[in-house]
Amino acid sequence: MSEVIQLTAQDGHQFDAYLAQPKEKPVGGLVVIQEIFGVNAHIRGVADSYAAAGYLTIAPAMFDRIRPHIELGYEEADVKAGLEFKGQVAPEQAMLDLGAAVAAVAAAGKIGVVGYCWGGLLTWLAATRVAGIAAASSYYGGGIVNFVEEEPKCPVIFHFGEQDHAIPMDQVETIRARQSGSEVFVYPAGHGFNCDQRGSYEATSAGIARDRTLDFLSQHIG
């Protein structure tokens, strides 16, 4: 079962979140963090898939800081718009929204975070700045290298594509070196390889990364 609920951040900002519930008692909670395209059909599908795996899953609408109901596709114009929207949300604001999302699923038990693209960066920042997170899986988060000296408060794994032109491999190696306690996985794929609505989708890599994420969540959450 899924529904859209409203959350309130500590600064009073009210925003939507897509909540997907498992059929049985949750094994834990999970926050799924969007790409630069909003909580669109793909992200809702990702949330549904993790709910099917047993997690009470929530996908907060991070662009509601700008205006409600922003959903984009994957064409060139959508990418341009998404990048502009991303630039209007300060990391500090995003952390407040993610804190509210964590609180919303806290009753399920331990909480994990999984994020993609911009959400991959926010996953890393949440792991270092937001209380109450037990595990974080970050997919191809651009800009992580700029925050690589921050210390995570929970176990983290990273997924990158070796053909990702937005995240050079030297940045990936910097992350690996500076965060030696975290596993860094590299796949024969490009940016966005998990998204089956993008031309860069790479099914084998996406499947392996998902299995690794599920194993990781099972280890640290349940």
Of 42, 117, 154, 159, which one is the catalytic site residue?
117
- So what's the pLDDT on residue 138? 98
- So what's the pLDDT on residue 126? 98
One digit per residue, the tens of pLDDT, for the chain of length 222 reads 999 999 999 999 999 999 999 999 999 999 999 999 999 999 999 999 999 999 999 999 999 999 999 999 999 999 999 999 999 999 999 999 999 999 999 999 999 999 999 999 999 999 999 999 999 999 999 999 999 999 999 999 999 999 999 999 999 999 999 999 999 999 999 999 999 999 899 999 999 999 999 999 999 998
Max CA separation in the chain (angstroms): 43
- So what's the pLDDT on residue 98? 98
- So what's the pLDDT on residue 147? 98
Helices 91-104 & 118-129, crossing angle to 10 degrees? Answer: 70
Of 159, 164, 195, 220, which one is the catalytic site residue?
164
- So what's the pLDDT on residue 222? 81
Of 64, 97, 154, 191, which one is the catalytic site residue?
191
- The SS3 call for residue 221 is coil
Q: What is the count of structural domains for the chain?
A: 1
Catalytic-residue membership of 164 = yes
This prediction's pTM: 0.97
Range of the domain at 133: 2-220
Sequential DSSP letters for 97-112: HHHHHHHHTGGGSSEE
Catalytic-residue membership of 154 = no
Contact 137, 113 (CB under 8 A): yes
Catalytic-residue membership of 220 = no
- CATH code of the domain covering residue 175: 3.40.50.1820
Contact 44, 2 (CB under 8 A): yes
- The SS3 call for residue 167 is coil
- So what's the pLDDT on residue 66? 97
